[in-house]
Each structure stands twice: as structure tokens, then as C-alpha cells.
Structure 1
Amino acid sequence: MRVPLRLTLLYSVLFLLSGAVLLAITFLLVTQSGSGVSMSSSNSSRSGDQSISNIVVGDGASEDAPLTETERRLIAAARQQAVQQREEFGNQLLAKSGVALAIMSAISAALGWLVAGRVLRPLRVMTDGIQLISARNVHERLAFSGPPDELKALADTVDGLLGRLEMALDSHKRFVANAAHELRTPLTLEHALLEEAIIDPDATVDSYRARFEDLVVVSEQQAQLLEALLMLATSERGLDRLERVDLSEFVGGVLRAAEPRACKQNLTVVERVRPAWVTGDSALVERLVANLVDNAMSYNVPDGWMEVVTGAAGEGCFLSVTNAGPHVPPETVDRLLNPFQRLERTADDGHHGLGLSIVQSIAVAHSADLSVRARPEGGLSIRVCFPAEKSQAISG
């Protein structure tokens, strides 16, 4: 059943019920008024009979004189006639009110249909506009003009949804293009190495071995890129499982694994960790910690430093990673959170610009707040705050 018809039936039923209630109240008031008059007449029957008697026999009759049989019959006939008139009046009132109610019900149904159509007209306009919007013209908006009511709020909400959808589609297109470019680079390099080995007439076992070593490096880079893309897709999909984990334990494990690299880069690692229990996916939380530490070590300066802090803040818990490094323009900080974005793009650094974007996706999946700030001295200060409902500190 269509909405206009449902609204028309609703209006008609409501009018019919309200009219029937009004008719019942009116009928009861009229009948109760007549009953009250009858009760008053019964209580004063003696005085009423005497009055009727005076009318019948004249004013000269004595007030104490008993009524004759004829007078009693006349009085009874008058009473019966009054009762019949009252009943006829009530029946006529009920019948005429019913006819009026039926007529007004038909009129209200017609008016309800017109009103429902006018009320739903903006919805039909919005529906037609939405049906015309597709992936090719997602930039178009309803641009509904009208008073600030619920329909205007609905149209504005749809426009906001279309705006977010346009941003998501644009981001998806950029992601696909960047991913294709990142994957094409090692594939092109692989093809060049293989082709060089094939067309070299003076190739030796040592030259083949050197080419194979280069191919292994390229293959490892491809594997790292695919793993990063898979992790990004997993984090954007949401949480599959929830468990209580301690951020400080992940930090300790990641830093122990990174000790050889820190010694090789001569980095000073400052570790100030306290128990910070959060509820989430342990694999994703560990990846978040590992990506932040890897980013702080990769984009650092010779003989630099890195500080990792965990603990409780208010009712939630936090993880903070700060590092020395090259100067980062503040206006480029937000861009670094997008996939395949790096300050200096090089093909052989082993990074694809996915680390911070994965961190952001994992933070969003855990309803955590991610703040990235460029330090005036160089480097970044990154802080992830898990909300109270997703985390709680444990004492003892």
C-alpha cells in the first residue's frame, strides 16, 4: 500500500473516531439533560399534578382537592407525550448526526488525500533526484530549498551522505591508482633484470647470481607492499574479535625486536611505559605499535632519538611516540595519513607510505583519537588515545 493511501486512511480513521466520540458525548449530554428534567418532575409530581389540575379545571379549584380520574389520565398522557417527544428528538439527533458524520468522513478522506500528496511531494522530488545520482555524477546534490523542517533536515542529511560518499570514491580511486603505481615499479624492475640476464651474451654464473639477489630484494619489497595492503584492508574492515591487551607489553616486544636496528642507526631510545590496558584486536594493536616505532626509526636523523610512552590518561589509555627527524611542514601532516604519501619518495627505501595510514585505520576501528603534530625542531609527535569505553586501567 502506498504512503499517500496509508496517510489518507489514517486521517479518515482519526476523523471518524473523533467525530464518533463527539457525537456520543453530545448525545449523552442531551439524554442526561432530559433525564434530569424527568427526575425533577418526578420529585415534584404532586406540585406538577396540581398545576396540571389547575390548568384543566380552572384556577378556582382548591389546591388541596384530590385529583379526579380524568385529571390523572390527562397528566399521564402529557407525561407520555413528553417522553415520546424526547425520544423522537434523540433519535432524530442521532440520525442526522450520523449522516453529517458520514458526509464529513468522505470530505475528510478527500482532503486527506490532497494533504498527503502535498506533504509527500518534496519526498517524491528528493527520491527522483537521488535516483538520478550515480557514481558518474555523485558530485550533484539535492539542494532542497524549503523551511527548516524535518524534510529539509532529511535533504541536508542526504547531501552530507553524498558528500562523504564522493570523498570515499575519490579516495578509493586515488588508492587504486597509487597501489597500481607502487606495484608496477617492482614489476618493471623485475622484468628489466630478467631481460638483462637473458640478452647478455657474456652472462656468467656470478652475474646470474647477482641478478637473482636483486630479484629476491624486489620480491621481498613486493611481499611487504602486499602485506601492508592486506593489513590496511583488514583494519578498515573493522574488529573481528575483542580482547583486553596491555600496550606496554606490545611496546616492550617491538622495541626489543628493533634493538639491532637502533644500534645500527645509533638511535637513543627512551622507553617510559606503564600498564595501559585496552580492549581491541591484539593483532591490529600490535601492528599499530610496530608501525609507529618503524616510522619513528625510519624517518630520523643520524645519532637521533626516539621516545615511547604509554599510560593512563583520565579514564582511558594512550600511546605516544615522539622522534627527532627532518623538518615536517605542519600543512603536510594531514597528507601523511593518506595511503602512499611520503615526504621524500624514493623507490629503494623499502617504504610505500602506508605506515601511518594503517595506524589511522586501526585507530578508527578502535574508536581511538589519533593526533599527529610536527615538532618545530624536526620530527613528529604522535599520540593515540583510546576512549574510556574501549579501555580501562588495571591496578595491581
Structure 2
Amino acid sequence: MSLTARVSGMRVRLRLTLLYSVLFLLSGAVLLAITYLLVTHSGSSVGMSTFNSSPGGEQSISNIILGDGVPTDAPLTDTERLLVEAAQQQAIQQQADFGHELLVNSGIALGIMLLISAALGWLVAGRVLRPLRTMTDTIQLISARNVHERLEFTGPGDELKALADTVDGLLGRLESALDSHRRFVANAAHELRTPLTLEHALLEEAVIDPDATVESYRARFEDLVVVSEQQAQLLESLLVLATSERGLDRRERVELAEHADSVLRAAEPRAGKQDTSMVDRVHPAHVTGDPVLVERLLANLVDNALSYNVPAGWVEVTTGTTRTGSFLAVANSGPPVPPEMVDRLLNPFPRLARTADDGHHGLGLSIVQAIAVAHSADLSVRARPEGGLEIRVDFPPEKSPAIAG
């Protein structure tokens, strides 16, 4: 445990001790004041009421002072009256002395108990903070190399147990994010290595070929341009993925039908070459979000549906609204997809049929998922029994657009 954390823990323990002591002091002072008032008030009230309310009160006191030889109905002389008044003053003084002594002794007892309560408060605060210190020590020892470790706090189901379970959940999510990041970096490095290796081979072949001609150089340069374009597409996809995972920079009203029509028109030439039918079921639907990212989401879904299809297949694009918000769906014919592969398709770089020159890098659906998450939308992917996929994105109800600077 670091010195700073230890000092901070001591400060918290000291604050708790002071809090306990102050609360005890206040409650003790209030109790002492109530006791003092009750004792002094009841003593004086009882004495005066007895003297004033009893018949022949002065004669009774004179009998106590002068003895029983004086008749109770005899009038008091001046001397006897002075003695009675002196006795009354003495009783009042004794009552005051008793109250003062009670107050002093109670104050001393309160001071002693304050010291004892401070010591007990220090021990109790240490006991209460001990699980927090243990959790702090464990968390400080966890790093990227041992993020799999957990607090594993055992105890009653109180606030400390809830805090420890929350930290364990956070560590679990952090571990998953780090593992995903490591896999992403490794896959990205692998994907970038392939075109770089191909570029190096083409350049080396052109250099060492003694019979190279202008036509051969031109052919190799054309191959290099294709490889360079693939690299640019990969880098652009990585940039869009990183931007989508970061969140939205702006929000405005987006019409899904307009973007769907635009994407479908752009995909018609490619669909014609593949002999793929484009089914348009586009209806007005409004969402709040980033129009560029929403169009990229649609474009990736249509591109994925065209890329993984069968000859004379079809692609269906649907937009519309429900009681819970707007949605868009893209379904396609295609080869059967194993159910265990459906969830893996949303991760970066996995593809059903991986080839080095297919022009795809396995980032399409991962970008779709990132854009959906950024828009707080629900993404569902279902493998069709006949083959192909049905992907649906349900957007939340439209909100007032807030343009971010």
C-alpha cells in the first residue's frame, strides 16, 4: 500500500473518530443538561411546595428547629422567624451546592467517557475501514498483466460486499476489453502484413527481373495500385471503427428511407453484375444520430449481403417504424451460416470464407455493431434456415436533435 493511500486512509479513520467523539460529546452534554435541570428543578419544587402547601409550614419548621415544646398554634417570635428564614436559605444553598457538585462530577465523568469513546471510535473506525484497505491493496496490485485477478470479497451482503462485487464486475469488463483489444491489434497487424508482403514481392520481382519491359512494369504497377487500394480501404475501415466506438460527435434528424435509397442506387451496378435482385421495402423512418455513420451502417450491411450471397440471389432492405422506434433490416440469400458463427461475425476480422484477395477485411459487421452501439440501437443477427442472414437494427425513439460542436 502506497504512502499516499495509507495517509488518506488514516485521514478517513481520524475523521470517523472525530465524528464519533463529537456525536458522543453532544449526546452526553444534552443528557447532562437534562439531568441537571430535572434534579435541580424537582428538588427546589419539592422543598418549596412542601413548605408552602403544608398547614402551618413555618410552625413545622420551627418545631424542627426549636423542638416539640413549642405549641404548633403559637405565633412565631422574631427570633424564631429569623431562624426559619436562615434554615430556608441554608436549604436553598445546599440545593445549589448539590447541583454544582452534580454538574462538576458529571462533567468530569463526561470528559473521561469522551476519551474512552475516542479510543473506541478509533478502533471501530479501523475495523470498519479494514475491508476497504484490503480492497485498495488488492486493486493497486492489479495491472494489465494480472487483470484476471478479482477481489473475491467474502462477507455479509452489505454495502462493502456490493462495492467489491461492482469492482469485480468492472475488472471483468476491463479484462474482456483488453483481450478484445489484443485480438484486434493482432488481427490488424496480420491483415496489414499480407498486402505489405505482396507489395514487397511485386517490387522485388520488378527489380530482379533482367528482362523487365515497360509492359511488365505497368502490369506490376497496376497490381500495386490494387494492393494500395485494399490497404486504404482497410485503414479507412479501422478509422471508422475507432470513430464509431468513441461515440457520436453530432446528433441530428436522419431519414432512414433517404439513405437506404441512396445506398441501393449505388449498389445496383454491382448487383447487376452478380445477377442479384434488390428488393426495396423502404418506408419513412426517422432517427436521431450522425447521418454519415448511419449511411455507413446501411452501406456495410448491403455490401455484406452482396458479398456473401449465391448466384441469382437476392438482397432485401426494409425500413419502417414500430411503437418502440424506427428500424432497418437487411436480409439476403446465401450459403448456410452455422449458428455458432453468428456471434463471431460481429467481431473484427472474422469472415465465413477468408481469402487474401476478396477485398474484404472482416470489419463490416463489427463497424455496424459499433455504429449501432453509438446510437443506442439494438443489433440482432439471425441465420436464415434457407441460407444467408437477417440483420435488424432497432433505433430508440427519436429525440430532439442536439448538434454537438
Aligning the two structures, in what range does the TM-score lie when normalised by the shorter sequence? over 0.9
The question of whether the paired residues in 2 share the 8 Å contact of 1:277 and 1:391 is answered with no
| Residue 294 of structure 2 corresponds to residue 285 of structure 1 | yes
Corresponding residue of 2:316: 307
Corresponding residue of 1:155: 164
Whole-angstrom CA distance in 2 between matches of 1:10 and 1:53: 56
After TM superposition, give the deviation of residue 391 of structure 1 in Å.
8.1
Given the alignment, which residue of 186, 190, 203 partners 1:181? 190
| Residue 257 of structure 2 corresponds to residue 245 of structure 1 | no
Corresponding residue of 2:199: 190
The question of whether the paired residues in 1 share the 8 Å contact of 2:275 and 2:312 is answered with yes
Is the alpha carbon distance of 1:355 and 1:390 closer, same or farther for their aligned partners in structure 2, counting shifts above 3 Å? farther
- 1:103-134 Cα distance to aligned partner (Å, 9 max, x none): 01101111111111122122222222122211
SS in 2 for 1:153: helix
Corresponding residue of 2:3: none
Is the alpha carbon distance of 1:39 and 1:306 closer, same or farther for their aligned partners in structure 2, counting shifts above 3 Å? farther
Q: Structure 1: which 5+ residue stretches go unaligned?
A: none
The question of whether the paired residues in 1 share the 8 Å contact of 2:56 and 2:72 is answered with no
Whole-angstrom CA distance in 1 between matches of 2:239 and 2:63: 112
- 1:281-301 Cα distance to aligned partner (Å, 9 max, x none): 222112111111111111111
TM normalised by structure 2 equals: 0.91
Is the alpha carbon distance of 1:350 and 1:40 closer, same or farther for their aligned partners in structure 2, counting shifts above 3 Å? same
The question of whether the paired residues in 2 share the 8 Å contact of 1:316 and 1:391 is answered with no
The question of whether the paired residues in 1 share the 8 Å contact of 2:44 and 2:92 is answered with no
- 1:199-258 Cα distance to aligned partner (Å, 9 max, x none): 222222221111111111111101100000000010011111111211111111111111
| Residue 365 of structure 2 corresponds to residue 356 of structure 1 | yes
After TM superposition, give the deviation of residue 39 of structure 1 in Å.
5.3
Corresponding residue of 2:231: 222
Corresponding residue of 1:339: 348
Whichever residue aligns with residue 179 of structure 1, its letter is: A
Whichever residue aligns with residue 80 of structure 1, its letter is: Q
Give % identity.
78
TM normalised by structure 1 equals: 0.93
Corresponding residue of 1:380: 389
Given the alignment, which residue of 48, 57, 69 partners 1:48? 57
Whole-angstrom CA distance in 1 between matches of 2:49 and 2:398: 74
Of the structure 1 ranges 181-190 and 71-80, higher mean CA displacement relative to structure 2 is found in 71-80
Within 5 A, what are the aligned runs for 1:1-396?
2-37=11-46, 40-41=49-50, 43-44=52-53, 47-55=56-64, 56=66, 58=68, 61=71, 63=73, 65-388=74-397
The question of whether the paired residues in 2 share the 8 Å contact of 1:317 and 1:391 is answered with no
SS in 2 for 1:322: strand
Of the structure 1 ranges 151-160 and 211-220, higher mean CA displacement relative to structure 2 is found in 151-160
SS in 2 for 1:80: helix
After TM superposition, give the deviation of residue 275 of structure 1 in Å.
2.2
Is the alpha carbon distance of 1:31 and 1:316 closer, same or farther for their aligned partners in structure 2, counting shifts above 3 Å? farther
Whole-angstrom CA distance in 1 between matches of 2:101 and 2:49: 24
SS in 2 for 1:18: helix
The question of whether the paired residues in 2 share the 8 Å contact of 1:278 and 1:391 is answered with no
The question of whether the paired residues in 1 share the 8 Å contact of 2:60 and 2:72 is answered with no
Aligned length: 391
Of the structure 1 ranges 191-200 and 353-362, higher mean CA displacement relative to structure 2 is found in 191-200
Whole-angstrom CA distance in 1 between matches of 2:24 and 2:211: 99
The question of whether the paired residues in 2 share the 8 Å contact of 1:265 and 1:303 is answered with yes
Whichever residue aligns with residue 155 of structure 1, its letter is: A
Whole-angstrom CA distance in 2 between matches of 1:89 and 1:335: 87
- 1:304-352 Cα distance to aligned partner (Å, 9 max, x none): 1111111222232111111111100111111000000101101111100
After TM superposition, give the deviation of residue 259 of structure 1 in Å.
1.4
Of the structure 1 ranges 171-180 and 305-314, higher mean CA displacement relative to structure 2 is found in 305-314
After TM superposition, give the deviation of residue 70 of structure 1 in Å.
2.3
SS in 2 for 1:372: strand
